[in-house]
Chain A
Amino acid sequence: MYGYFVKRTLQAAFTAFFVMSLSFVLVRLMPGNPADQLRGQLIRNNPSLSQQEINRRVANYINIDYSRPLHEQYLTYVSGILQGDLGQSVSQNAPVSEILGEALPWTVFAFSVAILLMFAVGISLGALMAYKEGSRFDVSTTGLGIVLNSTPNYVTALLFLYVFGFTLGWFPTSGHISSSIVPIVDPLRPVATAQFVASAVYHASLLIATVVITGFGGVALAMRGNSIQVLGEDYLRVARLRGLSDTRIALRYVARNAILPMYTGLLLAFGAIVGGSAILEQVFTYPGLGYYIVAAVEARDYPLMMGGFVLITLGVVVGAFIADVTYGLVDPRVSTGGDAS
C-alpha cells in the first residue's frame, strides 16, 4: 500500500512537471513570437514608453522574458505558475488567474451536476438492463445507447438550443444567471441566495441536459457489461445458495462489484468532460473555462490559452491522483500495485 502510494504520488508530480514544461515549450513554439507581436503593439499604442518599460510589460504579459537565458526563463515561468501567476491576458486586459478563477466555479458547478446526474441515470439504467438481459427493454435501450453514443454532444446541444431555446423559448440561450439577479451566497439572506441558485440552475439546465443525454448511454452500457459479468461469478451462486435476500444480493454483491471499476471512470470523466467543455460552453455562450480557452485561441491570446491549459491539466492530474489513491482504499486488490486488470 505504501509503495503504491509513493509511486502514484511521484507519477502525479512528474506529470504536473511535464505539463508545465510542455506548456513552456508550446509558448516558445508559438508562431510569430508572441513577445515581438506584443512589443510591436505596445510601441504603436504608446510611443513614449522607454525600452525597459516595454520589456517589463511584455515579460508581465507573456510570463517569459525572452532576452534572458533559457533555463532562467524556464525557472521564472514555472515558479510563476506555482505562485498562481499565469501572466496577463492580452484580449481581456486582466490577469489570467483572475479571469480563469472567475470562470472556474461555473464550469465546476455545471459539469459536476451534469456528470453526477449522468452517472446516476446510467448506472441505474445499466443495472436494470443487465437484470433483464435479452428482453425487449434491454435491446431497445442498448440500441438507444449506441445512437446517443454516436452523437457528438455539440450536435445535441445545437438541437436543444434550437428547440428549447429559440423555438419554444423555455430556457435562456446564454449566460450564467439573469442580469437582474445579484450573485450572492449568504445564509442570512436565504431568499436572495435561493433566487441566485435557482437562476444559476435554470441557466445551466440546457447544458446539463446535453451532457446527461449524450453521456448516460455509454455509462449504462458499461454498467450493463460489468453487471452481466458479475452475475456470472461463482460467489453469486454461493450467495444465492446461502439463501441471502434478493435485495442484499443486488446491492451488496452485484451493484458494488459492478460499480467499483467505474469509480475511477467517474473521476476521470470530470477531467475529460471539463476538458471537452470548450465546444459546449461556446454553443450555450456559458462563460466558463472552455469558453475562455476558445476565446483566447480565436484572439491568439497566448497567456490566456496556456493558463487555461495548465489549469485544466493540473485539475485532471489531481483528479486522477485522488481517484487512484482512494480506489486503492475501496478495492484492496489495487493496493498491491500490480496490474489491476
Chain B
Amino acid sequence: MSQGNQSETKPAGSGGFGTVADSSLSRRERYRRVLDLWVVAPFRVVWNDVRARIGTALVLGFVTVGVVGPALVAEPRVGQAPLLVGPFRGGIVGGSWYEVTNASLFGLSVPWLAFHWPLGTDNVGRGILEQVVHATPRMLTMVATAGLFVTLLGTTVGALAGYTGGRLDQLLSTAVDIVLTLPGLPLLLILVALLEPESPVVLGIVLSLQGWAGMARAIRSQVLTIRSTSYVEASRAMGLSTPAIVAKEIVPNIMPFVMINMVNAMRNVIFASVGLYFLGLLPFSEVVNWGVMLQLAYSNGGLLTLDAAHWLLVPMVSIILLSMGLILFAQGMDRVFNPRVRARHAETTANGGDEPAESSPRTASLGGDL
C-alpha cells in the first residue's frame, strides 16, 4: 500500500488514484497523516505567524538556557567577582568583560571567548548573569508544574461538569464559582505563610491553586456547546463510545481554550512567585528565583543609586521576556487550533488533513499581521 501512497504525494495524483479510501490506509500512512495534521501543519502556521515565531523562539530560548545554561555558566558564589561591577564593563566594543583566549578542544588549541561577569555583579560579588541563569531551571520547573496542574484539574472538572450535566454539574459549578471568588493574593499570602514551600514543584502547585477554576468554567461552557452540535449527536447515534467521542470530537475543539488558559496560569505563577519573593514572604536560602534578585536589589538600594540599577533591571527584563514569549506562543497556538482561523487559511491546514501537506501550496496570507 505504501508504494501507491508514495505516488499520491505528487500534486497531479497520477498513480494511486484508487487508494484514497480510508479502509485501505496502511498504519504507516495513518501515522503520517496524524503527524501531518498535528505537527507539520501547525508548525507551518506557527512559522508563518510573526507573533508565534517570536513567542516560540523566546520560550525555546528560555528552555535552552534552563537546560544548558547551568552547565555553561559558573554557579553564582559570594565573592566570585569584584562588588557591584557594571554591565559590559569597559564598553560594548573592546570592553574588559570578555577576552579572546585559547581553549583546547580534542587536543587542538582553538580561539575562544571568555566572559567575565558580562551583566555585572551584585553587592556581594555574585555575577548577575550567573544568578539569572541558575535560577531559570527552578523557574521553568515551577511554571511547568503550574501549567500541568491547572490543565489537568481544570480540564477534568470542566469537561466532567459540562458533559455529565445534572447534579454533578451543579456541584462542580458551585465549587468553581467559590474558588473564582476567593481573592488570589491574600489567600496565597496566607497559604505561603502556612506552608513555606521551597520546592519549585510544591510552589507551582500552591501558587496555581486558584487557576484551574477559570479554566474549568471556560471548558465547561465550551463542552456544553459542542455536546449539542449535530456531529457529536451523530457520533452518539452511531454508537461510538464516550471516550471515543471525547477524544475525537470534543478535545480538538477545546484545545485553544486549554492552551490559552494554561499559558495564563503559567504567566500568573511567574508573576505571583516573583511578587512573593520580592516581598520577602517566601523562604529562600540562595538565589532560586528572579524575584529573589529583585528583592535583594531593591532592599540594597537598587532604586536609589545607578550603581545597582542593572541588578534590578536584568531580572525584570527576564520576567517580561518569558511571559511575553508565553503569551505570543499561546496566540500562535490559537491560530493553529482555532477552527475559524484555520478555515480562513484553508489551503494549508485543511489540505493537511486530507492529503499530504507537502503537496499543498504555501499561502502567503498566513504571514498576516493581525
Q: List A residues at the B interface (Cβ < 8 Å).
A: 11, 14-15, 18-19, 22, 26, 29-31, 133-134, 138-139, 142, 146-147, 149-152, 154-155, 158-159, 161-162, 166, 271-272, 274-279, 282, 290, 293-294, 297-298, 300, 305-306, 308-309, 312-313, 316-317, 320, 339, 341
Contact = CB atoms under 8 A, between A and B. Distances in A.
B298 interface: yes
B280 interface: yes
Sorted nearest first, the 8 A-B pairs with minimum C-beta distance are A275-B183, A150-B324, A150-B323, A341-B221, A152-B271, A309-B186, A162-B303, A279-B275
B279 A279 contact: yes
Contacts of A272: 183-184
Given A155-B320, A278-B189, A339-B224, A19 B174 contact: no
A278 B278 CA distance: 12
Contacts of B177: 11, 15
Nearest to B217: A341
21 contacts: A11-B174, A30-B194, A134-B370, A151-B323, A154-B278, A155-B316, A275-B185, A276-B185, A277-B185, A278-B185, A279-B278, A290-B185, A294-B281, A297-B193, A297-B281, A309-B183, A309-B187, A309-B190, A313-B182, A316-B181, A320-B181
Interface residues of B, number: 43
Q: Which of B51, B182, B224, B319 has the most CB of A within 10 A?
A: B182
Q: Is the interface of A mostly helix, strand, loop or mixed?
A: helix
Contact of B327 (A18, A150, A274, A305): A150
Interface of B: 51, 174, 177-178, 181-187, 189-190, 192-194, 221, 224, 267, 270-271, 274-275, 278-281, 294, 298, 303-304, 309, 312, 316, 319-320, 323-324, 326-328, 369-370
A15 B178 contact: yes
Contact of A297 (B182, B190, B328): B190
Contacts of B275: 152, 154, 279
B185 A15 contact: no
B194 A133 contact: no
A29 B221 CA distance: 36
A152 B274 contact: yes
- Residue of B51, B185, B221, B323 with highest tally of chain A CB at under 10 A: B185
A306 to B, nearest CB: 8
Contacts of B327: 146, 149-150
A316 B183 contact: yes
Given A18-B178, A133-B370, A151-B320, 6 more contacts: A26-B190, A146-B327, A147-B324, A150-B324, A271-B183, A294-B279
B186 A308 contact: yes
Contacts of A316: 181-183
A300 B221 CA distance: 41
Contacts of A134: 369-370
Nearest to A29: B194
A279 B224 contact: no
A63 to B, nearest CB: 15
A282 B185 CA distance: 13
B368 to A, nearest CB: 8
Contact of A275 (B186, B274, B312): B186
B194 A31 contact: yes
A166 B324 CA distance: 28
B143 to A, nearest CB: 14
B185 A152 contact: no
Contacts of B303: 158, 161-162, 166
Contacts of B281: 294, 297-298
Contacts of B279: 278-279, 282, 294
Contacts of B270: 152
A159 B303 CA distance: 8
Contacts of A279: 185, 275, 278-279
